[in-house]
Amino acid sequence: MAVTRRGSIVLVLVSLAIAAVTLLTLQSCTDGGTAAANGLVRVDIPNSEGKMETFFLEPALDNETRFKGLSDRTTIDDDGGMIFVFRNSAVRKFVMRDCPIPMDIVYIDTGGRVIAAHAMVPEEPRGENESDSDYENRLKRYSSRFATELVIELQAGTIERLGLEEGDVLKVHGLKDLQARAK
């Protein structure tokens, strides 16, 4: 009888734990939480049919991570990429530093509205005798044109595939939490 009772207690505790995790996950979806596993940020982006497609992006919340970005990556998942969150609003200019593959960049305001988008192409790699400043100076700059705190990098061709245009609105889940964590 004691084994059955102990087994029942364990079953109840496991059920409660599962219920709590499920509730927290559902809360993060409705309360603007990240709603993604492994620290990824869920972003819903409209396509040309007006339907939302879900992406799971790596957050870049500090200077070191923002500087590195997706450099040295050889692939980006179809529903992957990176979201850069800055503490201040400014005109942003991104470059393809040490990026061997093309990618798309989308600048959005804090309301999720697209303010600029570009298809970025890889640059010639840093020359053997090229200084850091010479390399940085020759890289093409892709500008937000307007002040922003939020930048998204996606797999190349995503902007075109979705039909994404300036003025379209994306949904960044857990934005307030990301902004609070940004350094």
pLDDT at 158 (0 to 100):
97
Amino acid at site 12: V
Average pLDDT score over the chain: 84
In total, the chain counts a number of residues equal to 183
pLDDT digits (tens, 9 = 90+) for 6-37: 555 544 444 444 444 333 333 333 334 444 56
Place 38 in a pLDDT band, splitting at 50, 70 and 90: confident
What is the C-alpha separation between 57 and 94, in angstroms, rounded? Answer: 17
Residues 6+ apart with CB under 8 A from 28: 34, 35, 173, 174
What is the rounded distance in angstroms from the CA atom of residue 165 to the CA atom of residue 98?
A: 27
Q: The pTM is what?
A: 0.78
Query: What average pLDDT does this structure show over 141-147?
Result: 97
Residue pLDDT, tens place only, 69-82: 888 899 999 999 99
Q: Do 81 and 102 touch, CB atoms closer than 8 A? A: no
The CA dihedral of 58, 64, 70, 74, to the nearest 10 degrees, is: -120
pLDDT tens by residue, 64-117: 999 888 888 999 999 999 999 999 999 999 999 999 999 999 999 989 999 999
Radius of gyration of the chain (CA): 21
**Secondary structure letter of residue 182 according to DSSP:** -
What does DSSP assign to residue 139? S
The C-alpha atoms of residue 152 and residue 59 are separated, in whole angstroms, by 9
Determine what percent of the chain falls in helix, strand and coil, rounding each to the nearest 5.
30, 35, 40
